[in-house]
Amino acid sequence: MEIREKVTIEDIRRAEPKMIFYGANTCWWTHDPAHLSRTTGGRVEGGHNIQLPSDPRGGMLFQTDNVEAFLKAAEENAQHYGRHGLRAFMAAHHSNSFKSLDDPIPWCAPTWDEYNDAVDRLDRRKVQIN
């Protein structure tokens, strides 16, 4: 997994999202319902497939309509996200995380350590460019 710093917490606030969606088993999150993947969750009576919203790996989601509380909690507890704090939190946003340098599809990871390691790789790439 790799990251880019395309979207900031200020961008999220300016977007005035109505909902935050976040992974139940990953650190992934988004403010945009268009970012939700769909996974087949089973069949209902009559044999129709249920298409459940999911993170990029097909994982279950939680959601909240208290967007500001979600963002404020992240800011007030930056240490929870590891050595890069809010940078790691923002790295987990759908628009900032992708599978690999060769495969730019959105991706997610189950631990904050993986996002912190991805921030380190991003910083090393920036140094190499300069």
pLDDT tens digits, 57-75: 999 999 999 999 999 999 9
Banded model confidence at residue 45, pLDDT cuts 50, 70, 90 = low
Q: What is the pLDDT of residue 41?
A: 60
Is the pLDDT reported for residue 46 higher than 70? no
User: What does the angle CA 24 – CA 6 – CA 3 come to, to the nearest 5 degrees?
Assistant: 60
Q: What is the pTM of this model?
A: 0.90
Q: What is the pLDDT of residue 39?
A: 77
Average pLDDT of span 2-6: 96
Q: What is the pLDDT of residue 38?
A: 86
Q: What is the pLDDT of residue 29?
A: 98
Domains in the chain: boundaries: 2-129
- Sheet of strand 29-30, all strands in order from the earlier edge strand to the far edge: 29-30, 20-23, 61-64
